[in-house]
Amino acid sequence: MKTIKHITILFLLLATSIASAQVKFEAKVSKSELGVNERLRIDFEMNQDGDNFNPPSFQDFTVVAGPNQSVSHSWINGKKSFNKTYSYFLAPKNQGKFTINQATIEIDGEVYKTTPITVNITSAVDKPKDPNDPDVIIADNIHLVAEVSKTNPYINEAITVVYKLYVAPNTGVSNWRETSSPSYNDFWSQNIDTKGLKVLNGKYKGEDYRYVVLRKTVLYPQKTGKLEIEPLSLDITVDVPTNRRNIFGERLMTQAHKTITAGSRQIHVKALPEKNKPANFTGAVGDFDFRVTSSKTELNATESLSATVEVSGNGNLKLFELPNLNVPSSLEVYEPENKDNVRTTGSGMQGKRSQSYTIVPQFKGKYPLPSISFSYFDLKTESYKTLTSDEIVIDVLQGPTNVASNENGAISPNKQTVIANNDQFAFIKTKPNLVSAKKSNFFKTTGFWTALLAPLLAIPLAIVFRNKRDERLADVTGNRIRKADRLAKKYLSEAKRALGQKEAFYVALEKALHNYLKAKLQIETSDFTKEKITETLLERQVEDHTVTEFISILKNCELARYTPITQVEMQQDYDKASKTISEIDKQIR
């Protein structure tokens, strides 16, 4: 019997401890720092109903309103939940750090106490804030921040800009849209795909917040000095609490709209040191490997081999030129084929770039491919490094002997040059242009009657022409489209004439692409964004590949302002533009 009694008492004590462990009674303030002329809201929340609630003395504050009591009941997955809140609005009496002492309440015979809270009261702010004002709630609880990985990089050093939206736990954002996208003048930029918005927990100015990463962008500064990153602005829809409550005592919410901005950021870009800069340095910044390889070292004459110059690693891979391969004049070499395998991550560009030269020897012998050097600026040691390739010897085993040249490739003295003379032959004329000696009269000839009747026949043609001209002049939209089409053709021809002149070529090419779009899609110049162009072309049933090619040409035009471009790359961009315009004409609906 004693054993049963002891078990019963133990069970009751255990049940009481479990019940008491589930009780929550805590104090929350609207902010931990405020001006002396602002108002502070403090909530005392409990998850079980209690009696004999005793608030703290609030000796350093004046109670403006309260206590306001609210009670809510809810059922979630068959489980009942309860919440009861006592709210006070307080006005600080003086500046300084003050502690709000414990509040107490009695729940099921047990007395529970809140944790003391310290609040910092600063000097008066310009405009006292009403804690129930939606604008004040949004300003205090929602923040758009641009986090920059480094504010004083070297030129061509990668930095990352991460845009985060911080939201306090007591409010929420139901919708948002960009009103102003940041522009990166004097930077090479690449957006990083965030693959959906994921809500994370973090801290903002020491307080708990939820946040989402809206955008990640990698930047490579192309200019030294102080550069500015323009801000990202959002129009957000926010759920904010009101003073009204429903029949269950729950605070009703309302939606408010506000535009917030991340603010502009200043970047101070340092120049690369001039001391110990190699003569062959072309702007590579990062950590790289360099090598030169050959597909063959032994072959016969007229066979081909491939020699590859390759740079790999981390850094501004797309923003410098690869060193050229030195090939003896007695070997036939073709224009190199460029191949890029570069991806951009949050830390910058990674991968490799290469140039492959096709070489065809014509004569028997041994031909050395001299070593070449590649220099870059190492960010870890903040110094220049030079990498040198090994010499490669090409052994041509079979083929004719090159008797017309010596070892240096010069013409042998026993060979004479044949000089052509254009006066050696006089050709026979096949068109003597003879004139008849007999003259004919013009009167009553076919030409006479044609000249007589032509004005009469021209009258109805002139009437038809005038009507067509009036219709054409009345077609304002058509005239604008035809004008833009003529301009596109004009600028394409100007771009072709400017091949070899980088800036003039890409300015003319970009104008041609823009005027073509105005002709085909009737888009005004102010609407020219890559997103707008992509959306409009896809709506007109242009294939994804063609749209991607068109956007890549526009990006090349922008990139060409800051990077060295070769004659071959300009010709490739011109051919690609002509081909893409032709494809759009075939596909557009």
Long-range contacts of 74-77 (CB under 8 A, 24+ apart): none
How far is the C-alpha of 29 from the C-alpha of 45, rounded, in Å?
A: 11
Task: Provide the residue-wise pLDDT of the chain in tens; the chain has 589 residues.
Answer: 445 555 555 555 444 444 445 788 888 888 888 887 788 888 888 888 888 888 888 888 888 777 777 777 776 666 777 788 888 888 888 888 888 888 898 888 888 888 898 888 887 776 555 556 666 777 778 888 888 988 899 999 999 999 988 988 777 787 777 877 788 888 888 888 877 778 888 888 888 888 888 888 999 999 899 998 888 888 888 777 666 666 666 666 677 777 888 888 889 999 999 998 999 898 999 999 999 999 988 988 888 899 999 999 999 988 888 998 888 887 888 888 899 899 888 888 999 999 999 998 888 888 899 999 999 999 999 999 999 999 999 998 887 876 554 444 333 433 434 444 454 455 566 666 666 666 667 666 777 778 877 887 778 888 887 877 777 776 666 665 565 566 566 667 777 877 777 778 888 888 888 887 777 776 665 556 778 888 888 888 888 888 888 888 888 887 776 677 777 778 888 888 888 887 887 777 7
pLDDT value at residue 420: 46
Tokens in use for 390?
A: 């090994």
Q: CA 105, CA 111: separation in Å to the nearest integer? A: 6
Buried b (16+ CB within 10 A) or exposed e, 310-341: bbbbbbbbbbbebbebebbebbeeeebeeeee
Q: What is the pLDDT of residue 140?
A: 78
**Residues ≥6 apart with Cβ < 8 Å to 54:** 103, 104, 105
Angle at 517 between CA 512 and CA 521, to 5 degrees: 160
Predicted model pTM: 0.48
Q: What is the pLDDT of residue 418?
A: 41
pLDDT score, position 408 = 41
What DSSP letter does each residue of 369-397 carry, written as one string? E---EEEEEETTTTEEEEEEPPPEEEEE-
User: Would you call 503 exposed, middle or buried from its count of C-beta atoms within 10 A (0-12, 13-18, 19+)?
Assistant: exposed
